[in-house]
Structure 1
Amino acid sequence: MPDVGEGLTEAEIVTWQVKPGDTVTVNQVICEIETAKAAVELPCPWAGTVGELLVQPGESIEVGTPIITIDTGGGAPAGKAGDDEAVPNLVGYGPRQASATRRARRSTAAPVPAVEPQPEPEPEPASEPAPARGGVAVPLAKPPVRKLAKDLGVDLGSLDGSGDGGVITRSDVEAAAAPAPTAPARSVGGVRREPIRGVRKATAAAVSGSAFTAPHVTEFLAVDVTETMALRDRLRATRQYADVKLTPLAFVAKAVCMAAKRTPDINASWDEPAGEIVYYDRVQLGIAAATPRGLIVPKIRDADTLSLRELAGALADLTDTARSGKTPPADLVGGTFTITNVGVFGVDSGTPIINPGEAGILAVGAIKPMPWVVDGELAVRTVCQLALSFDHRLVDGEQGSRFLADVGALLTDPGLALTW
């Protein structure tokens, strides 16, 4: 498993695109892997014939673990654990880490690998000892059964396998995990369990770390965006914006970038090890996106240098890529400020959690008609709720309030942009 970059230490095989005996070429996609950040297609670094698939779909493994053997025609298969040959870099990925964990050869005299190669060998006769680890007999069970036992808290060493050769089966594990018979009870419905992994695992770690590391402060502002929505309607009718999906979020993004120039503390990060505050010249704007795989935050690079039309196009591309699950891992890191649009779900407001390493995040609520006082008279206006969470180590209340007020002012009267 190569290091796909950005400090990732493990990945999960989603699907294999090849099988033993297939002929492969350099950079041919051999499998799809899922990291904590995105789904990635993995190219092959060698040309040759597929020998073994050492990892099954659904298994999470560490970077550096062998996943496939390729017979390159030069003798020993390439890429198998224990090889001393130089390993070529995969196109588009960083070099393999020398310190990465390597899996031992599968042998009765050596430790049993954490993931057994497939296809599964014929079970050993019951009269022969099972493979041993440190002098202790290791129960015979396939990787999916081992994983099930781990999830259910069943000790495989306490079971007698009912399969051929004493192999422990799924039924053996489920029977061991079943509770002792009790008096009949009324059914309260079923439950479903799923392992915590991939994007959900990464999101949980990130928000937990942020919530207990950065002292959050959240401020709220109701904004009359009637004029901005009218401007959007006029622009959409022009030739320049005819082929662009111009959403309200594009106006919010533009307002955030302009306001950040007036309050640079909001576009900074806290470097605890160095004892420094890092201020950024450019806004690397994260957009929280709900996808079938979970919440991800891809970035619009140098968003403050883009025009409104360019921001609208970048937002459309970002959204389409995220929903298709093809966001590159490099696009999910290195942000300086984030926008989350909860309004698309009909929600008015919330208290967003800051993306780790950033100073603030802005939640945009639903845009809808509401009663509003204009020049002393009650009128129906188009209104939106904004919620800004910021790291109080970096941003004082005055600075956070000024930034939020600037964003609101630009959305209330977009003509102000001409005076800044």
Structure 2
Amino acid sequence: MGEVREFALPDLGEGLTEATVVRWLVAVGDTVRVDEPVVEVETAKALVDVPCPYGGVVTAHRAEEGAEIPVGAPLVTVATTDAAAGGAEPDLEQVGGSGNVLVGYGTHEPPRRRRRRTAPGAGTPSGTSNGTSNGTSNGTGGPGQAADAAGASASDAGRTRALAVISPLVRRLAREHGIDLRELTGSGPDGLILRADVERAAGTPDRPAPAAAAVTEPPAGPAAGTGPATGTGTGTEAGTEAEAERIPLTGIRGTAAERLARSRREIPDASCWVEADATELLDARRRMNAHAERNGLPSVSLLALLARVCTAALARYPALNSTVDTRAREIVVLPHVHLGFAAQTERGLVVPVVRGAEALSTEALGAEMARLTEAARAGALTPAELTGGTFTLNNYGVFGVDGSTPIINHPEAAMLGVGRIARKPWVVGDELAARHVVQLSLTFDHRVCDGGTAGGFLRHVADCVEHPAVLLRTL
């Protein structure tokens, strides 16, 4: 006899103790293989595809989408062999369990094609266990649930094919626009559904609105439109008061909020700033990229040049590449520069980390920053790529602003901010000229250094921006 096995949320590493269920990748009644991803969860660090170590038929979801559950909480139950509905053996290449509980972020292969079980003499099951369309369960289901949906309409039969979707961002966009990915034909390789496919579907004028947003429960009180208008507050045309939007501080957003609040509580920060003429830096980048194009080499980004300037300045002023051990009452000057840089994504601001940045060339820095940025936008960064930074570079100029005094990324000691580069009148020699000017700001922990060190660091950065040849001294 087989058995129904329960799979709990595994240890995801990096001290993470909980996760939010974002999307079930399999429905109740689906057949899964050993180590096939079954659910997408969001931790405080990234989106995670969690694989199940058992092969068999999914009999119950033990958590709803949107629920926050701790590590070790029941996640899904699987009938591994003849405990499946109807007592038949599941059609699998592997049954039972792998014995592995993944600590990390998904498998190396995309999910294999799944087959749903069908009760004898019945139609194709819809894969739901409680009448909803997302296949969630109330957590009390058992093996018999695989056959409960046998009476579902035949129109759902075409929805059982495996989805050719890799990016969590694509799945998120589809959820936000109420799009069923099973109805889309991907334009990528092997039918892969791309972000552009979802955006095209979302732009269809006759697409119905998502069902979840169709009904809003009215507030208690007299029926709308039956009483006189008060003329106060904000309301709809029917006279009901609009509801405030509530955004949960969970996942990456919650972690960022806690870290920023802690930084403000613990770090006595100060800021200094300077304007610099970036004309020569832009000219140098233009010449480098023209040479790269002629020789088939990758181009160099402005952010990569600024990152190289940062590592050169930190080599001269290592106190800013440090942290404060409050228990030991010591300043810990760190031996390597793990350079964080702010990257804006649709899920919020994240700070990927280039490890060992002091040993990388400008070209290598650019390649690694481009890779991390793409992974951030796809929601595929690992915890190691989001933690352990020692200094942060914040290019807020991409938002069109000149200056800022950012909050230090705890437990680091400093952050360099770069504003937009704009043409301004500038004194060159004894005459005014139109130049490309940028404002640089440094926010630093006043416990690790005084204004002289911070000012020296910032002035060295400005000198490198104004005269890129200064960097030759550090190569």
TM-score by length of 1: 0.75
- The answer on 1:195 being equivalent to 2:247 is yes
Per-residue deviation at 1:249?
1.1
3-state SS of paired residue (2:16): coil
Tell me whether 211-220 or 269-278 shows the greater mean CA deviation.
269-278
3-state SS of paired residue (1:260): helix
Q: 1:337 to 1:180 in 2, by over 3 A?
A: farther
User: Which residue of structure 2 aligns with residue 248 of structure 1?
Assistant: 302
Which of 303, 315, 325 aligns to 1:271? It is 325
3-state SS of paired residue (1:339): strand
Per-residue deviation at 1:246?
2.2
User: Which residue of structure 2 aligns with residue 63 of structure 1?
Assistant: 71
Matching of residues 106-121 of structure 1 within 5 Å:
116-117=138-139
- The answer on 1:185 being equivalent to 2:227 is no
> How many angstroms apart in 2 are the aligned matches of 1:245 and 1:321?
20
Per-residue deviation at 1:227?
0.8
Contact 1:245 1:316 (8 Å CA) reproduced: no
3-state SS of paired residue (1:381): strand
Q: 1:179 to 1:325 in 2, by over 3 A?
A: farther
Residue ranges of structure 2 left out of the alignment (5+ in a row): 1-8, 85-96, 107-136, 146-215, 236-241
Q: 1:277 to 1:86 in 2, by over 3 A?
A: farther
User: Which residue of structure 2 aligns with residue 40 of structure 1?
Assistant: 48
Per-residue deviation at 1:239?
3.1
- The answer on 1:207 being equivalent to 2:252 is no
Q: 1:325 to 1:245 in 2, by over 3 A?
A: farther
Per-residue deviation at 1:273?
2.6
Which of 31, 54, 58 aligns to 2:39? It is 31
Per-residue deviation at 1:369?
1.0
3-state SS of paired residue (2:69): strand
Per-residue deviation at 1:179?
5.9
3-state SS of paired residue (1:395): coil
Which of 53, 68, 85 aligns to 2:61? It is 53
Provide the identity percentage: 41
3-state SS of paired residue (1:366): strand
Contact 1:288 1:339 (8 Å CA) reproduced: yes
Q: Which amino acid aligns with 1:193?
A: E
Per-residue deviation at 1:223?
0.8
3-state SS of paired residue (1:238): helix
Tell me whether 274-283 or 371-380 shows the greater mean CA deviation.
274-283
Q: Which amino acid aligns with 2:253?
A: R
Contact 1:2 1:93 (8 Å CA) reproduced: no
Q: Which amino acid aligns with 2:14?
A: E
- The answer on 1:17 being equivalent to 2:39 is no
3-state SS of paired residue (1:367): strand
User: Which residue of structure 2 aligns with residue 144 of structure 1?
Assistant: none
> How many angstroms apart in 2 are the aligned matches of 1:245 and 1:16?
40
> How many angstroms apart in 2 are the aligned matches of 1:279 and 1:12?
36
> How many angstroms apart in 1 are the aligned matches of 2:263 and 2:346?
24
Contact 1:250 1:311 (8 Å CA) reproduced: yes
Tell me whether 286-295 or 316-325 shows the greater mean CA deviation.
316-325
Contact 2:19 2:42 (8 Å CA) reproduced: yes
> How many angstroms apart in 1 are the aligned matches of 2:285 and 2:354?
21
Matching of residues 154-169 of structure 1 within 5 Å:
none
> How many angstroms apart in 2 are the aligned matches of 1:272 and 1:72?
52
Matching of residues 223-234 of structure 1 within 5 Å:
223-234=276-287
Q: 1:91 to 1:354 in 2, by over 3 A?
A: closer
User: Which residue of structure 1 aligns with residue 164 of structure 2?
Assistant: none
Q: Which amino acid aligns with 1:368?
A: A
Q: 1:285 to 1:24 in 2, by over 3 A?
A: same
User: Which residue of structure 1 aligns with residue 110 of structure 2?
Assistant: none
> How many angstroms apart in 2 are the aligned matches of 1:67 and 1:58?
13
Contact 1:3 1:93 (8 Å CA) reproduced: no
User: Which residue of structure 1 aligns with residue 133 of structure 2?
Assistant: none
User: Which residue of structure 2 aligns with residue 160 of structure 1?
Assistant: none
Per-residue deviation at 1:195?
3.4
Matching of residues 70-149 of structure 1 within 5 Å:
70-73=78-81, 88-90=100-102, 92=104, 116-117=138-139
User: Which residue of structure 1 aligns with residue 203 of structure 2?
Assistant: none
Per-residue deviation at 1:37?
1.9
Q: Which amino acid aligns with 1:250?
A: A
- The answer on 1:397 being equivalent to 2:461 is no
User: Which residue of structure 2 aligns with residue 126 of structure 1?
Assistant: none
Per-residue deviation at 1:192?
4.1
3-state SS of paired residue (1:21): coil
Matching of residues 294-309 of structure 1 within 5 Å:
294-309=348-363
> How many angstroms apart in 2 are the aligned matches of 1:93 and 1:295?
20
Matching of residues 347-366 of structure 1 within 5 Å:
347-366=401-420
Deviations 1:157-197 (A, max 9, x none): xxxxxxxxxxxxxxxx957x636888632362534423322
Contact 1:388 1:404 (8 Å CA) reproduced: yes
> How many angstroms apart in 1 are the aligned matches of 2:56 and 2:390?
44
Q: 1:218 to 1:72 in 2, by over 3 A?
A: same
User: Which residue of structure 1 aligns with residue 382 of structure 2?
Assistant: 328
TM-score by length of 2: 0.67
3-state SS of paired residue (1:239): helix
Contact 2:50 2:105 (8 Å CA) reproduced: no
Per-residue deviation at 1:18?
0.9
> How many angstroms apart in 2 are the aligned matches of 1:87 and 1:221?
58
3-state SS of paired residue (1:47): strand
Per-residue deviation at 1:293?
0.5
> How many angstroms apart in 2 are the aligned matches of 1:191 and 1:403?
49
Per-residue deviation at 1:72?
2.8
